[in-house]
Structure 1
Amino acid sequence: MQMRRLSVRSDDESGETGIGNMILLIAMILVSALAAGLFLQTMSTLQQQAQETGELAMLDVSSGFGIVTATGDRDLDGDGNLSSSIERIRLTVKINPGSSPIDMENVVIQIKSENATAELTFGGTTEADADDDEFGADEIRDPENTWTATQHIVSSGALIQVWIDPADFSMYLSSSTTFEVRILPVHGSVCLLKTTTPSTYTSRYVDLR
């Protein structure tokens, strides 16, 4: 008769198996914790990006300018000699309801007619600063005191006067001339004035609205 052999495991072997299982369990717990941490970090980053995108979208919708008045001046020197074309454009502008404050130093103004195009940046706070490829701007009303000598920010309730000299970039706005002005903030909608000058000029100042 063949005798059956019995396999007997020592206490040392059982202990080694238990330690191995424990190490494996700890490793699995650590991997799971690391994966959970990475998942939470990724979700937080995505949430922050979505929030920033939403805020920028709201700025693009609500922010921007509105033109209150637009006037042409045919006597830049004020000496009584009226030019046959508009020598200076004066715009009165304000920001739209719900718009965030806008820094005029970051604003670009594009002006286009049948024979000329220009892109202007902020040049200063006097009419004389409307020169070549720059526009001038200064506050008329500033209830929140955001327009100062060192910063030129348009806030809610403010009125700003903008000066553009079209002749500086060879744009001659004689009678019956169609042209357009676009005011572009960094974020927000484009403010557009598209108009045609009167068929005849009868006085120094010309209404362009």
Structure 2
Amino acid sequence: MFEAILSEDERGQVGIGTLIVFIAMVLVAAIAAGVLINTAGFLQSQAEATGQESTDLVSDRIEVVSTTGIVTSNADDGDLQSIRVVITTAPGADDIDLNETVIQAVGPQGEETLTLADTVDGSTTAGSFNIDDSEITSQDSAVLNDANEETTIVLDPASAPFGDGAGTVFGEGDKATLDIISPASAVTQVELRSPDLYNNDNEAVRL
């Protein structure tokens, strides 16, 4: 059935051909293994990065402790002079840079994206949010961490989206929504609901 190869030259040619085929198979296998290793490494790195982002999204959150409004010196006007939101870090969260934190606010006068004011002094600042905290005296120190367990965000009820900047001020019976977005893109939503009637000048009312 098989023809016997009697010539030594013919035997050598068959052996070389087999060796070439074997080497080619080894090279192909090595290249395929390299591609698989590189792909596996890339997928592992991507999975680790995705896992870390997911963890940050859950843990690096800002929690709201309380929301209050300070009535003006004339309660009969029915206006607030400031909106104060006390915040803290969620359990297990890393330091949260308030310079990279934004507040997307929706109020009676529309929608506005608020960022940290240039001067951190606890004042009401149009178009921005301010910080009232003895531990935070500048933008460089505006970091939410265990050292300052609670920090107060101060909002201006006279400027957009709470007021119109021309006399209309957030006050009695008004409502607003705040989405506080941390640097890790974790969102904390807060609803502000002002009482229908203010009784005393300069009083603090729960929102």
Q: Aligning the two structures, in what range does the TM-score lie when normalised by the shorter sequence? A: 0.7 to 0.9
d(CA) in 2 for partners of 1:196, 1:205: 16
1:1-209 equivalence runs, <5 A: 10-75=7-72, 80=73, 84-124=78-118, 125-128=120-123, 130-137=124-131, 139-140=133-134, 150-156=140-146, 158=148, 159-169=150-160, 171=163, 172-201=169-198, 202-209=200-207
TM-score between both structures, scaled by the size of structure 1: 0.79
TM-score between both structures, scaled by the size of structure 2: 0.79
CA contact (8 A) 1:72 1:88 kept: yes
SS of the equivalent of 2:92 reads: coil
- Unaligned runs of at least 5 residues, structure 1: 1-5
- The amino acid of 2:39's aligned partner reads T
SS of the equivalent of 1:167 reads: coil
SS of the equivalent of 1:168 reads: coil
Shift of 1:157: 5.3
- The amino acid of 2:151's aligned partner reads I
CA contact (8 A) 1:61 1:188 kept: no
- Total equivalences in the alignment: 195
Shift of 1:104: 0.9
d(CA) in 2 for partners of 1:152, 1:43: 41
Shift of 1:70: 2.2
- Unaligned runs of at least 5 residues, structure 2: 164-168
Shift of 1:93: 0.8
Residue aligning to 1:3: none
SS of the equivalent of 1:36 reads: helix
Shift of 1:149: 5.6
CA contact (8 A) 1:109 1:121 kept: yes
CA contact (8 A) 1:97 1:156 kept: no
Q: Give the 3 Å change call, closer, same or farther, for CA 7–81 of structure 1 in structure 2.
A: closer
d(CA) in 2 for partners of 1:68, 1:95: 10
Shift of 1:208: 2.5
Shift of 1:200: 1.6
Shift of 1:135: 1.2
d(CA) in 2 for partners of 1:92, 1:141: 14
- The amino acid of 1:85's aligned partner reads D
CA contact (8 A) 1:140 1:161 kept: no
Shift of 1:72: 1.7
Of structures 1 and 2, the larger Rg is shown by 1
Shift of 1:173: 1.4
- The amino acid of 1:20's aligned partner reads G
- Measured on the aligned residues, the alpha-carbon RMSD in Å equals 2.7
d(CA) in 2 for partners of 1:181, 1:31: 59
